[in-house]
Structure 1
Amino acid sequence: MTIPRRALLSGFLATPLVPLAGAIAFGQEAPVLPLTRACMDGDEPTLSRGAGPFYRPDSPLKHDLYLDAPQAPRITIAGYVFDDRCRPQQQSLVEIWHADDTGEYDQQGFRFRGHQFADAEGRWWFNTVVPALYPGRTLHFHFRVQRPGGEVLTTQLFFPGEPANANDWLFEETLLMTIDQADDGQFGRFDFVV
């Protein structure tokens, strides 16, 4: 028996953040870190990736994108936004856009497009659907992330174990989400450091 995505998201939101800075001896400053996949576990750089030809500005403010295809396989994607000293960045802009469950991007409106601002703990999340493959690309989500007053990071997140990863020239292992199976879809996790 697996757990529903809602329970996984609730657990993510209920777990208190223990920042790396709290683990540093009193009086010491946390080290400056390069952009990393996960602030807490490594020094691999988080690579930027182009916005691609399907980016559209002015996406709506919303968490729930799955309503645009209620029968498609569901996924909840969640994580934190940290700065280069592993401090959570509240009010960071997190924007997502992706193909639908047939591999098409909405060119007229804002299906599968949205943005939000990280909460007081630096957390963000979207409830959406698993995008379909389309020629030349593996499964992926596009993101733009910007902490208040910071530069914009434009990147893409990928699915682990996807056979098409090996043939996608934009694929990068450090941009893999961690995926858990839920009884009603998947739960993906990725922390941005900007």
Structure 2
Amino acid sequence: MAVSPASGACRSGPTPSQTEGPYYTAGSPERTNLVEAGTVGTPLLVTGVVLNADCVPLSGARVDFWQADGAGEYDNAGFQLRGHQFTDELGRYQLETVIPGVYPGRSPHIHVKVFANDGREILTTQLYLTGISDQIADAIFDAALLAQDEAPDADGHRHVSFNFVVVE
């Protein structure tokens, strides 16, 4: 995926921050697939690019993901549906996960933290899904954080994309 200032990827400014929430656990395993045996939920592919405010892709940025399973439950004892990865030389990430479930007061969302190469946390936010997250009352929902639907992946699963624009 080629991204440039002309493409409009950075036109709206930095990605809005959102609360970390009570369920972040440091020390997640490095992986691009959060789905383990027994994981509840419908498969979801999330892809995108991490960019700086000048729309330059950030290689080697650490991206942490964590979320509830398809039933709206978090794993607070281990690392199911938790993991981190590093962006490639073009700033890209790719995550295999499941569509998060609903729990009281929240629409389905995926938590994200982005860290610079030097380890500084530069963004904490949440991603939402069109047609699901925007249909449920949620006091912190932000339409600017809706992932864009893409063509289904090779297995026919839902595929969404989101580019994170960060201030270093």
- Report the TM range for the smaller structure's normalisation: 0.7 to 0.9
Q: Deviations over 1:134-166 (max 9, x none)?
A: 111001000001222454200001111226645
**Correspondences of 1:81-160 after superposition (within 5 Å):** 81-149=50-118, 150-160=120-130
**Correspondences of 1:29-68 after superposition (within 5 Å):** 40=9, 42-43=11-12, 45-68=14-37
Deviates further, 184-193 or 41-50: 41-50
Larger fraction in helix: 1
Which portions of structure 1, spanning 4 or more consecutive aligned residues, are displaced by more than 6 angstroms? none
* Residue 72 (1) aligns with residue 44 (2): no
Where 1:174 maps in the other structure, the secondary structure is: helix
What is the count of residue pairs matched by the alignment?
163
Q: Which residue of 2 aligns with 1:33?
A: none
Q: Which residue of 1 aligns with 2:139?
A: 169
Larger fraction in strand: 2
Instruction: Please say if residues 160 and 177 of structure 1, whose CA atoms lie closer than 8 Å, have aligned partners that are also in contact.
Output: yes
Instruction: Please say if residues 44 and 174 of structure 1, whose CA atoms lie closer than 8 Å, have aligned partners that are also in contact.
Output: no
- CA shift, 1:53, in A, is 0.6
Instruction: Please say if residues 39 and 82 of structure 1, whose CA atoms lie closer than 8 Å, have aligned partners that are also in contact.
Output: no
Where 1:105 maps in the other structure, the secondary structure is: coil
Q: Which residue of 1 aligns with 2:4?
A: 19
Picking from 177, 181, 187, the partner of 2:159 is 187
CA distance in 2, matches of 1:71, 1:105: 11
Instruction: Please say if residues 46 and 160 of structure 2, whose CA atoms lie closer than 8 Å, have aligned partners that are also in contact.
Output: yes
Q: Deviations over 1:41-60 (max 9, x none)?
A: 63255211111011100000
Gaps of 5+ in 2: none
Gaps of 5+ in 1: 1-14, 24-37
- Sequence identity (%): 36
- CA shift, 1:103, in A, is 0.7
Root-mean-square deviation (CA, aligned residues, Å) is 2.1
Instruction: Please say if residues 41 and 71 of structure 2, whose CA atoms lie closer than 8 Å, have aligned partners that are also in contact.
Output: no
Deviates further, 45-54 or 86-95: 45-54
Q: Which amino acid aligns with 2:126?
A: Q
Structure of greater Rg: 1
Q: Which residue of 2 aligns with 1:3?
A: none
Where 1:40 maps in the other structure, the secondary structure is: coil
The 3 A distance-change label for structure 1 pair 190 and 69 is farther
CA distance in 2, matches of 1:91, 1:43: 23
Q: Report the TM-score, using the length of structure 1 for normalisation.
A: 0.76
